[in-house]
Amino acid sequence: MTDSTPRDAAQLHISVMLERCVELLASALEREGAVVLDATLGMGGHTEAMLARYPGLTVVGLDRDTEALALAGERLSRFGDRFVPVHAVYDEIDRALEVAGVGAIDGALFDLGVSSLQLDEAERGFAYAQDAPLDMRMDQTAGRTAAEILAEEPEGRLRELFERYGDEPLAGRYARAIIAAREETPIVRSAQLVDILQAATPAAMLSKRHPAKRVFQALRIEVNGELSTLERAIPAAIDRLSVGGRIVVMSYQSLEDRIVKRILQARSRSTAPQGLPVELPEHRAELRLLVRGAEQASEAEREANPRAIPVRLRAAERMRERP
């Protein structure tokens, strides 16, 4: 049953590394007529801060979650047409900007992972600590649910998902247990899955970590196509950046961060053939990295907001147009 109590987006979520994100994007935000893409709008905290501080700024905010879009829209309504919401997955950047009537952008922000809205709503099925239908779709209007994946995929595919997306050492054992359990009854609720995983976990390992953590992460990534979406989204955003524009990306698990690191580093290197005496303009690096490695939230922020503990932030500035 859905709670009908009106909710305030500002109370549902504390934005991670908000001040650092705004600082890194500042040179883009202060441009006359600047446009920034918030590719993962969520509860709209980062967008609210940018719009409030830069009165000439317009933000195009994307989210695949219609409930998040509605809540953020209420929060940001006071900014009028300076905020343009678009229902889209964050790799649909070209379509979203076309809908918004925007060509080049001055900044792009990605705050990856699961939002507080999705984690805190038991009925969404993201959290293994709460019994709920195994849905896990960020966009509840499309795609397969986690329950459908558990019902339809063969043992080998489930093992592969748990290994690849969850780095789960007991992936094979868990896959076998799920196959055996679903022959008896459909696995449709999170508590069912947790019970199956706990029963399949050696007693010595139960005290070390929750057996469901990595499996739930793997299912969420598969349900929402998170990594393949990210592989397309970051290059698409970079291609839309004007010269001097900036991109900031916050990741919350190592698979995401590796993808972001690889793309940003590749486009921040010269493409000149080895031994070429003079670097031609078309070979110069497209990007300049703005932070050394990946930044973490401060100790104070991690204590105040536990969801900031795993964050890894990377950022870059566009130095030239593509040939």
For residue range 188-214, list pLDDT tens digits in order.
999 999 999 999 999 888 878 888 889
Q: Whole-number mean pLDDT of the chain? A: 89
Give the contacts of 144 (CB within 8 A, at least 6 positions apart): 137, 152, 223
**How many Å apart are CA 64 and CA 79, to the nearest integer?**
21
36 near 22, Cβ under 8 Å?
A: no
Give the contacts of 219 (CB within 8 A, at least 6 positions apart): 134, 136, 146, 149, 150, 161
For residue 166, pLDDT beyond 60: yes
pLDDT band at 1 (very low <50, low <70, confident <90, very high): very low
For residue 77, pLDDT beyond 90: yes
CATH architecture type of domain 9-117+226-318? 3-Layer(aba) Sandwich (3.40)
- pTM, full prediction: 0.84
In 139-198, at which residue ranges do the beta strands (DSSP E only) sit?
Answer: none
Residue ranges per structural domain of the chain = 9-117+226-318, 122-224
pLDDT band at 116 (very low <50, low <70, confident <90, very high): low
pLDDT band at 278 (very low <50, low <70, confident <90, very high): low
- The pLDDT assigned to 138 comes to 82
Once rounded to an integer, what is the mean pLDDT over residues 91-115? 92
CA nearest to 74, candidates 8, 138, 120: 8
Q: What is the DSSP string of 98-111?
A: HHHT--SEEEEEEE
> Looking at per-residue confidence, does 210 or 84 come out higher?
84
pLDDT band at 67 (very low <50, low <70, confident <90, very high): confident
- The pLDDT assigned to 13 comes to 64
For residue 102, pLDDT beyond 70: yes
Q: What is the DSSP letter of 272?
A: P
Once rounded to an integer, what is the mean pLDDT over residues 237-248? 97
- The pLDDT assigned to 205 comes to 87
pLDDT band at 21 (very low <50, low <70, confident <90, very high): very high
224 near 143, Cβ under 8 Å?
A: yes
- The pLDDT assigned to 145 comes to 94
Going by the annotation, the residues of the binding site for S-adenosyl-L-methionine are 44-46, 63, 90, 111, 118
Going by the annotation, the residues of the binding site are 44-46, 63, 90, 111, 118
Instruction: Please give the CATH number for the structural domain made up of 122-224.
Output: 1.10.150.170
